[in-house]
């Protein structure tokens, strides 16, 4: 499995560096299993021009399992992003498929933020952020609100 994962990650990293998606750049990927990516928010959104850093961690089960993606503090204020940087988006769990790429995942996060109409934290942010560990793995997300 390591050979498959490493081959896939090297291919994705090379493609990302050669032709990065709009609004993204890799800041650090010396370890192919952990990337630090900078995201510049889209124009004509409530986050216009704001920049955030994301940490992308690839487990031994990648690409069968989605990578862990968290915002490095300070996390943006968004109804789907907890103050500890955890992101509640279905593509990171129930909608992940090995056919998706890290690029597609990051673009989905940017799109989620671009669709947001009001900056606010998710309900229960303080409690969740206090009790959650550094990894969002194992969190049972409730994907019910597509109109934020």
Just list the catalytic residues: 88
DSSP 20: P
Q: Is 54 helix (H, G, I), strand (E, B) or coil?
A: strand
**What is the DSSP secondary-structure string of 95-126?**
T--TT--HHHHHHHHHHHHHT--S--PPTTHH
Asked whether 96 and 104 are in contact (CB, 8 A), the reply is no
Give the closest residue to 110 by CA, choosing from 9, 20, 10. 20
User: Would you put residue 12 in left (φ > 0), alpha (ψ -120 to 50) or beta?
Assistant: alpha
Burial of 9 (0-12, 13-18, 19+ CB in 10 A): buried
């Amino acid at each position: 499995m390591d050979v498959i994962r490493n081959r896939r990650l090297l291919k994705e990293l090379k493609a990302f560096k050669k032709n990065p998606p709009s609004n993204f750049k890799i800041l650090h990927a010396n370890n192919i299993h952990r990337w630090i990516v900078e995201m510049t928010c889209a124009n004509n959104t409530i986050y216009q021009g704001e920049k955030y850093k994301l940490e992308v961690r690839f487990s031994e089960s990648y690409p069968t399992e989605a990578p862990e993606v968290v915002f490095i503090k300070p996390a943006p204020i968004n109804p789907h992003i907890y103050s500890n940087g955890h992101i509640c988006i279905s593509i990171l769990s129930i909608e992940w498929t090995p056919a998706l790429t890290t690029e597609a995942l990051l673009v989905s996060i940017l799109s989620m933020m671009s669709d947001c109409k009001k900056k606010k934290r998710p309900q229960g942010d303080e409690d969740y952020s206090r009790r959650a560990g550094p990894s969002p793995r194992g969190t049972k997300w409730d994907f019910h609100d597509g109109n934020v």
